[in-house]
Amino acid sequence: MLRRISHLARPCAAQMEARRMLRARARPSKAAEKHYVMENAVVAKHWPPLDECGDGISPKRCRDIMHQLNVLETDRMRRARPFPMPKINPGDLVEVRYELSRSQQTFATFQGFCTEVRNKWLNSAFVLKNTYDGVAVEQLIPRYSPRVLNVRVVRSLPQRPKMDPRPPTRSYRYSWHNYVRGKYGKGKRLLWKFHTPQKPGVMGMEPRIRRELNRVRLQYQMQRAEAKLPAYIFPGPYNVTRRQTREVKAEQFRRMLIYAWDERQARSEKKRRLREKHKWGVYKIDKGPKASALTQLPSYHPLMDNLPK
């Protein structure tokens, strides 16, 4: 069988440069700098910090160390807990099964209403209160404790509907006379367009910033005109946002080009394999002669030319 070798055309230098520029990111990613693990080579090369090695322990470092120890111990206790801890709110009827003596393998059950929930990291706990024979009994149940065997919410108190914490108008509390004066008073004359009073209601910062910016811009233009300077071309307040938007669009377009390039490469490779598969070639077949149908006929068959004359 003859061998056929396909020679692939190598890309030229311009194509290689275009491909290299295609793979360059318009906005370099900084995600690796925010992933603080030892396996990350970007942040591991600056560890341990040389400015802290050999120095005395400062209060800030002590707080950081205690915080990390709290996080590790909380995670360890949560993984060692033999039951899923339910969500406990004040007013819920909670039943707690806890260990009395590990050596004697005794436990007790306490049922009471939750009166307080303390969220203090490793020292988180909740207070249960109940009455026995007319005597009020309170127990402080730690949330992370190996002695707590099970916690079950017997009856949950229906939660109050969440109210919108925002006031009906953000400028109604402190600047009521400024924003409602235009509605009732006639003594204030509107000298400029940006002096238009704001209507009462939930007011965002955008209109206020826009009016203040227009005022500063107009004042600056008047000062330049008074000083007989050329007009100032104001670029706009959203240069950062505009640049970021353009960078994001450039990144989207670059990825579109990459995906299109990869699809074209995959399709060209598929077509090349198909052409190689369907290409005609010269082959040498080494097979023995087959027995034809004529050689297999019996001697008395009419096609054997031995019929009686």
User: Any idea which fold 40-160 has?
Assistant: SH3 type barrels. (2.30.30)
- pLDDT of amino acid 149: 94
309 residues of the chain, pLDDT tens digit each: 444 444 555 667 777 776 767 777 777 888 888 888 888 888 888 887 777 777 677 888 889 889 999 999 999 999 999 999 999 999 999 999 999 988 888 999 999 999 999 999 899 999 999 998 889 999 999 999 999 999 999 999 888 888 766 555 555 555 655 555 555 555 555 556 556 555 544 455 667 777 888 888 889 889 988 988 887 666 666 666 677 788 888 888 888 888 888 888 899 999 999 888 888 776 667 777 777 776 777 777 777 776 665
Residue 119, token pair as written in the block: 């969220």
- pLDDT of amino acid 55: 65
- CA distances, 273 to each of 8, 11, 267, 281 (Å): 12, 19, 10, 15
- pLDDT of amino acid 133: 87
- pLDDT of amino acid 36: 82
- pLDDT of amino acid 175: 60
**Residue that is written with structure tokens 């924003």 in the block:** 179
- CA distances, 181 to each of 186, 189, 197 (Å): 8, 11, 8
The Cα 263–Cα 85 span in angstroms is: 50
- CA distances, 210 to each of 87, 204, 218, 221, 222 (Å): 45, 11, 12, 16, 18
